[in-house]
Structure 1
Amino acid sequence: MDKKEIKSIVEGLLFAWGDPLDIKDISNVLQINEKELSTIMKEIIDDFDYNRRGLRIIKFNNFYQIGTRPEHYEWIKKLNNKKNTKNLSNASLETLSIIAYKQPIIKSDIEVIRGVRSDRAIETLIDKRLVKEVGRLDRTGRPILYGTTEDFLKYFGLESLDDLPPIEEFQIESTDDDSQ
């Protein structure tokens, strides 16, 4: 099978599957090694980008998915008659940030950092598939450890957690009155 045919099949697989596909699964279907497939996937991504196609191949960790270009959102939104799903609250975004940077982390540690209960925020993040249970801490009560998901990476356009901006780049604003 030539490279052109492989690229065509990959596009079809990504389109038909809809959800992210692991490179291992694509490799098994095509019966080619992952290293060769990675090179071909890079070529497909570059081709989509160079030709400014309406679709793009999104890569995160070792997963690939076909999707629309973010710059076309305004036009695509016009077709959608359904009410937009509610955005994340500040509490949920704050909780998600803590989990992303400190994972794996237990709820009580999140609450110590935030200074408030986080049950509802964590529940919302799990419902939106941005956070998941990644294990249990081996201590009394066996508290749940939370971490981010592949959907988190996709939602924020990250290939891996290494792409998160360094936490040192953020200016932390004090909520205390420092004017005394």
Structure 2
Amino acid sequence: MHPLAPHIEALIFATDQPVTFDEIVSCLREALGQDFAEAEVREALEALHQRYADPAFAFEIVEVAEGYQFMTKGAYHPVVATWLKQTTRKRLSRAALETLAIIAYKQPVTKGEVEQIRGVNCDYTIQKLLEKELVAIVGRSEGPGRPLLYGTSEKFMDYFGLKSLDDLPKPKDFKT
């Protein structure tokens, strides 16, 4: 294994947020007092990626939202989901998930457009999604009154394990 790999592994393991490549390089340089070439760090990351690709591990290091993070492999999602369901309450209501889906697929979108699609007032739901930092205000519409425009955030990408919005399921893939 690459000599930097255990240091990178410890760094990624120690945080619940994705760690960017630049953060990894910076941390290694400061902690180990050496100037590492980016290619050397990428080599170590690749060694870790290959190590955790082994079926003996239930988790892997994946790149999400421009960073690296440990995640449970798909084969083990049912067990983890059952555990989480038993030990925690649902974090997002059906209304929040519907609103979030509309924002994700239609962004940038105004509250009025979301309400028109859902057919109900969305003030409370959008406020809660803003508080959870799953959506963000991304600008203002040019329409009358210049309403706020909403879009998804990096935290949304992390929450759903997405690298980019292109990873969202295509609407044609939905079962009706």
- Secondary structure in 1 aligned to 2:23? helix
- Asked whether the 8 Å contact 1:56–1:66 carries over to 2, the reply is yes
What are the residue-to-residue correspondences of 1:29-44 with 2, within 5 Å? 29-30=27-28, 31-32=35-36, 34=38, 37-38=41-42, 40-44=44-48
The residue aligned with 1:49 is 53
Judged with a 3 Å threshold, the aligned counterparts in structure 2 of structure 1 residues 142 and 36 are, in CA distance, closer, same or farther, namely farther
TM-score computed with the length of structure 2 as normaliser: 0.75
Higher relative contact order (CA 8 A, sep 6+): 2
The residue aligned with 1:149 is 153
What are the residue-to-residue correspondences of 1:8-47 with 2, within 5 Å? 8-30=6-28, 31-32=35-36, 34=38, 37-38=41-42, 40-47=44-51
Between the two proteins, the alignment pairs up a number of residues equal to 168
Judged with a 3 Å threshold, the aligned counterparts in structure 2 of structure 1 residues 4 and 141 are, in CA distance, closer, same or farther, namely same
User: 2:143 & 2:47 partners in 1: Cα distance?
Assistant: 48
TM-score computed with the length of structure 1 as normaliser: 0.74
Which letter maps to 1:64?
Y
- Secondary structure in 2 aligned to 1:134? strand
Percent of residue pairs bearing the same amino acid type? 38
Structure 1 residue 72, shift from structure 2 partner: 6.3
- Asked whether the 8 Å contact 1:57–1:66 carries over to 2, the reply is yes
Q: Please list every run of 5 or more consecutive structure 2 residues that lacks an aligned counterpart in the other structure.
A: 29-34
Judged with a 3 Å threshold, the aligned counterparts in structure 2 of structure 1 residues 34 and 146 are, in CA distance, closer, same or farther, namely farther
Judged with a 3 Å threshold, the aligned counterparts in structure 2 of structure 1 residues 143 and 27 are, in CA distance, closer, same or farther, namely farther
Cα shift readout 1:9-42 (whole Å, capped 9, x = no counterpart): 1111112233221222112333545566445434
User: 1:90 & 1:157 partners in 2: Cα distance?
Assistant: 19
Q: Are 2:72 and 1:74 aligned?
A: no
The residue aligned with 2:3 is 5
Q: Please list every run of 5 or more consecutive structure 1 residues that lacks an aligned counterpart in the other structure.
A: 174-180
User: 1:16 & 1:62 partners in 2: Cα distance?
Assistant: 18
- Secondary structure in 2 aligned to 1:5? coil
Q: Are 2:66 and 1:62 aligned?
A: yes
- Asked whether the 8 Å contact 1:130–1:148 carries over to 2, the reply is yes
The residue aligned with 2:103 is 99
Structure 1 residue 148, shift from structure 2 partner: 1.4
Which letter maps to 2:18?
P
